[in-house]
Structure 1
Amino acid sequence: MLTGTLYALAAGLLWGLVFVAPLLLPDYPAALQSVGRYLAFGLIALPLAWIDRANLRRLSRADWKEALKLAAIGNLLYYVCLASAIQRAGAPLPTMIIGTLPVVIAISANLRDHRRDGRLPWRKLAPSLLLIALGIACVNRVELEALRAQPDADASRYLQGALLAIVAVACWTWYPLRNADWLRAHPDRRPRTWATAQGVATLPLALAGYTLLWGGMAVAGSDFAMPMGPRPWFFVGLMACIGLFASWIGTLCWNAASQRLPTALAGQLIVFETLAALAYAFILRGRAPEPLTMLGIALLIAGVLWAVRIRPEASVAEGHAA
């Protein structure tokens, strides 16, 4: 439990970096940031795949199809929606919506996977979920008040950002559940190998997306300086950093956590991503959080600490037909 929680913490700290890129590249299309990030992830995965080729050969065609699905929905589609949401609504609104993931995943997993993982009793889980929900509400209230204070706020863009963030939540509710299915069904496989497989599966999708985006912008007569935009070296360096740290190492840490923890509990630990994203956002802003934000962060941490103390109970076996 402790090792799995530490791996989830590391994944959250690394995944929080993905909220920074759209703020640092506001003039870059979200789709370009997504395909750029995962093109970097795929290229980084190639030499790692060569080193780990013996284990990758053990993967079946069905395994590679699953890696491709996870890459398409949990990587590319998720990040297109998230980056688009941040560019339209700023960081606070998408962060608040993504912050509901611990609650959404925990409830989904407890309903879906109790036969495999054991059921986390609702009476014991409820205080943890309540603390997390209250913490998110506190943080979000401060951020929403800041948004309302902006005289040039565009309600339609905020609404678009909110809807895109909801789609991102749907993608990332599906991803950890399906990813945990594969990892729990293959306890003999290394999390590193599965992270590399997802990187390799992402590469052709990212290449195709990059090509289509470049061609589409050319046909539309866009004046954006493809293939790498007006700040090519900054773009390439940032995509490489996020591809390595957030995509490969972050996925590796999450896979290690998913093999060790019940899915319902692992889902709650995604709260570390929310905390990291908020911390990085305030560092970029150059100011300390408001007192209500600090209270929200404390409640989030308390909810997670409560959750890791819960042990799953075996599900009651269903009766057999005569």
Structure 2
Amino acid sequence: MLSGFLFALAAGLMWGLVFVTPLLLPDYPAAMLMAGRYLAFGLLALPLALIDRRELRRLTRADWIDAVKLSAIGNFLYYLTLAAAIQRAGGPLPTMIIGTLPVVIAVCANHRNAARDGHYRWRDLAPALLLIALGIGCVNQVEQATLAPQALGRYLQGAGLALIALACWTWYPIRNADWLRAHADRSPRAWATAQGVVTLPMAALAFLVLAVADGTGLPLLPAGFDFPAGPRPWPYVGLMAAVGLFASWLGTLCWNEASQRLPTTLVGQLIVFETLAALVYAQLHRGEWPPLMGVAGVVLLVGGVCWALRLKPVPPARERHLPASSA
């Protein structure tokens, strides 16, 4: 339980980087951020694939198809819609919507995986979920107070894109945990590497599409955008490499380790660390101390996670009815 908690915390700290990157590179469209991040992830995965080549050879065709699905939805589509949402609606609204993930995943997994993992009684789980929801509400109230007035249409576009990102990132950890729990003898590191390997051709294809769009005038890039590295090549390349390494490969590795150690319902709640990290990084980017309500929100969030960690799931029905073994 403790090691799973620490792995989930490390994943959240690294995943929080993806929220601040669009703010650091506002002059780069979301498609460039998505393609650059996963090109870096794929390139970093190649030497790691040599290290894990024995484990990767064990993967079947069905496993590779699962890796492609997870990467396409949980990586490409998620980050494309999230980055676009942040650039259209600002940081607060997408953070608020993605911050509901612990509640959404817990509700989905508690019903879906009860036969495999057992389940938490709703009356036991409700206080933790309520604390998390109140904490998210507090910190996002602070964020919304700093939001500059924006056109309603663009703001609603950001909200819609953030909802799509929420759906992607609800689906990803549940399906990823399914594979890991069904293959408990496999290496979580190798599975993270496999997802990195399949992102490389997809990222290369994304850059090819952007290159064609740049050459033919299709409206995928801003007018006058200096393709392929943009107006600030070195910050772009450096940030893409950092996000590719820490948020993509190492963050996925830590999350895989946590998913093998904790029930899906509980590990879903620990995604709250991603929200916390994103808010902390945003405050550091602004150079401001968080107000009192923001601090109260953090306390509520951590309190909800601690409450959830002390709960024990009700075992699956088949385990409750097994006869006691004779001495």
Residue in 2 that maps onto 1:4: 4
Residue in 2 that maps onto 1:250: 251
Q: Which moved more, 1:55-64 or 1:288-297?
A: 288-297
Q: 1:191, 1:315 → 2: CA distance?
A: 25
Matched ranges for 1:154-303 at <5 A? 154-220=151-217, 222-303=223-304
Q: 2:258, 2:317 → 1: CA distance?
A: 26
> Equivalent residue of 2:129, what SS?
helix
- Aligned residue pair count: 315
Q: 1:36, 1:289 → 2: CA distance?
A: 31
Q: 1:223, 1:299 → 2: CA distance?
A: 46
CA deviation digits over 1:141-183, x for unaligned, max 9? 2222322xx3x42222111111111100000000001000000
Q: Which moved more, 1:219-228 or 1:288-297?
A: 219-228
Residue in 2 that maps onto 1:128: 128
Q: Which runs of 5+ in 1 are unaligned?
A: none
Residue in 2 that maps onto 1:17: 17
Q: Which runs of 5+ in 2 are unaligned?
A: 320-327
Residue in 1 that maps onto 2:325: none
Q: 2:239, 2:143 → 1: CA distance?
A: 26
The one-letter amino acid paired with 2:2 is L
Shift of 1:8: 0.1
CA deviation digits over 1:209-262, x for unaligned, max 9? 111022113211642111111111111111001000110000000000000000
The one-letter amino acid paired with 1:118 is G
Q: CA RMSD in A?
A: 1.2
In percent, how many aligned pairs have the same letter?
66
Residue in 1 that maps onto 2:317: 316
> Equivalent residue of 2:103, what SS?
helix
Q: 2:157, 2:309 → 1: CA distance?
A: 35
Shift of 1:120: 1.2
Q: 2:291, 2:277 → 1: CA distance?
A: 16
Q: 1:154, 1:146 → 2: CA distance?
A: 16
* TM-score, normalised via structure 2 length: 0.94
Q: 2:233, 2:105 → 1: CA distance?
A: 37
Which segments of structure 1 move beyond 6 Å, counting only runs of 4 or more?
none
> Equivalent residue of 1:311, what SS?
coil
> Equivalent residue of 2:146, what SS?
helix
The one-letter amino acid paired with 1:178 is R
Residue in 2 that maps onto 1:114: 114
Q: 2:38, 2:117 → 1: CA distance?
A: 32
Shift of 1:316: 3.0
Shift of 1:270: 0.1
* TM-score, normalised via structure 1 length: 0.96
Q: Which moved more, 1:208-217 or 1:16-25?
A: 208-217
Q: 2:29, 2:207 → 1: CA distance?
A: 12
The one-letter amino acid paired with 2:67 is A
Shift of 1:317: 4.9
